[in-house]
Amino acid sequence: MNVLLLGFGSVGRAFCNLLKEQEFSLKELLPAGVEVKVVGIGTKTRGCLFSRDGLPLKQILDFESKTGKLTGMDSLYAYPYDSESLVSEGDYDLLVECTTSSMSSRGGVARLIKIALDRGKTVVTCNSAVVYNHYFELKELSEQKGASFIFDSAVIAGVPLFSFMKHCLPCAKVVSCYGVINGTSNYVLEMMEEGSTLDEAIMEAVRKGCAEKDPLLDIEGTDSAVKASIIAQVLMGASFHALEEISIEGIRNVTPEMFRKAKKEGARVKLVAKIQKVLGSVQISVRPEVVPSDNPVSRLRGASKGVIMTTDIAGEVYLASDGFGPRQVGYGLLRDVLEYISGKIKT
C-alpha cells in the first residue's frame, strides 16, 4: 500500500515515527506481502520527496529535525515539483492528509483531496476543517470513483467514533450526542477549577500541545462546534451548519462562582456539545454546563474527550479517550489506514 503523505508537521512526523516504531507489529498484522510504504511526502513550503520504492523515513525524520525542511535531502528522493503535482501525477494508492487545519479552510487542501479522489485514490485525513466544509461533496466524489474518504481522526482522534458507530452498532441510529469534544477547553476548565486564571490555563494548554494554533478556537467553542457539526452531518443526517447557525458560547465567561456552586453539588463545569434531533431537524449547541457527578462526562480529566451517543436500538453508548496531541492523531491516521487495508472500511 503506497502512501502519499501530505503535510510533515508534528502529526505527519508522528505518523512516520509510528510506522517505524510499529514495523514488527505491522508485519504481523498485515496480510503477507502487504506493507505500508510512504512513497511521497508533500509540503507547502519545505519541499517534496518521492521514491517509487519507498522513502527512508528514519533518514528523512533525522534530516528534518536538523534542518526543518525536506529540500536538500538525498537528491535520489528529491521531487522537483509541488504537492499538487505529486497528488495529481504521483504513483500512490492512498493519500494521508495532515496539513495544518484552519477553521476557515474552504479551498486549498480540499482541492488536493478532490484531485486524489477523482483519481480513485483513497484519502485518509485528520483535517476537521476540510471534513466540516466539504463532507458531502467529498463523500459523493469518493463514492462515484470507488475510493474511500476516511476521517476518523478528525473528531476525538483517540476514538474511532464513525467507524465504531458504523461497524459495531450497525442499523442503530444516533438520536443525540452529548459530551466534551474539545480537550483544550476541558484542560483549561480543570485548571481554572483548581484556581488558575483563564490566561494562565490557556498558556499551559498551549505548552502541553493540545491547543489549536489559535487557542481562541478552543476557548470560544469554535472547534467544538465544527466537530459537532461533523458528527451531525455524518451520523445524524444533518445538512451543513454554518457556524453562525450554531448556538456557541465558549468558556470565557465561566466564573469562580460557577465552579464553587458545581463543587458544592459534586458536579463539574464542562464545555458541552449537544447534538439533538428535534422535530425532524438536527440542533447543535456548544456551551459551558454544570454536569452532575452521575454523568460520566463530568469525570473527564485533563485534555480528555468523551461523548454519550444515544441510539434508537442500542441505547446509550459512552466513548471516551484521554489521548491528545500529535502522537494520538498520528496513531488515529495509522489506525484508519490499517482499517482500510483490512477491508473494514468501505466507501
Burial of residue 21 (CB within 10 Å: 0-12, 13-18, 19+) is exposed
218 binds ligand HSE (CB under 6 A): yes
Among 64, 212, 336, 339, binds ligand HSE (CB under 6 A): 212
Please state, in angstroms and rounded to a whole number, the distance separating the CA atoms of residues 216 and 284. Answer: 20
State the nearest-atom distance from the C-beta of 157 to ligand HSE, in Å.
Answer: 6
Angle at which helices 183-193 and 256-264 pack, to 10 degrees?
A: 80
Among 70, 159, 165, 211, binds ligand HSE (CB under 6 A): 211
47 binds ligand HSE (CB under 6 A): no
Q: Which stretch binds ligand HSE (CB under 6 A): 73-81, 208-216, 246-254, 272-280?
A: 208-216
Select 47 or 332, whichever has its Cβ closest to ligand HSE: 332
Residue 45: partners with Cβ closer than 8 Å, 6 or more residues away = none
What does 234-273 look like in DSSP terms, one character per residue? HHH------GGGSEE--STT--HHHHHHHHHTT-EEEEEE
Q: Which amino acid is at 258?
A: M
190 binds ligand HSE (CB under 6 A): no
State the nearest-atom distance from the C-beta of 182 to ligand HSE, in Å.
Answer: 4
State the nearest-atom distance from the C-beta of 210 to ligand HSE, in Å.
Answer: 5
Q: Which stretch binds ligand HSE (CB under 6 A): 6-14, 207-215, 255-263, 331-339?
A: 207-215
Residue whose C-beta lies closest to ligand HSE: 184
Among 182, 222, 285, 304, binds ligand HSE (CB under 6 A): 182
Select 47 or 289, whichever has its Cβ closest to ligand HSE: 289
| Residue among 24, 335, 279, 300 nearest 157 (CA) | 335
Among 97, 193, 223, 289, binds ligand HSE (CB under 6 A): 223
Q: Which stretch binds ligand HSE (CB under 6 A): 26-34, 69-77, 206-214, 337-345?
A: 206-214
Longest CA–CA separation in the chain, Å: 65
Select 49 or 211, whichever has its Cβ closest to ligand HSE: 211
210 binds ligand HSE (CB under 6 A): yes
State the nearest-atom distance from the C-beta of 219 to ligand HSE, in Å.
Answer: 10
Neighbours of 338 (CB within 10 A): 18
Q: 87 near 115, Cβ under 8 Å?
A: yes
What does 280-329 look like in DSSP terms, one character per residue? TEEEEEEEEEEE-TTSGGGG--TT-EEEEEEESSS-EEEEEE---SHHHH
Binding site for ligand HSE (CB under 6 A): 182-184, 210-212, 218, 223
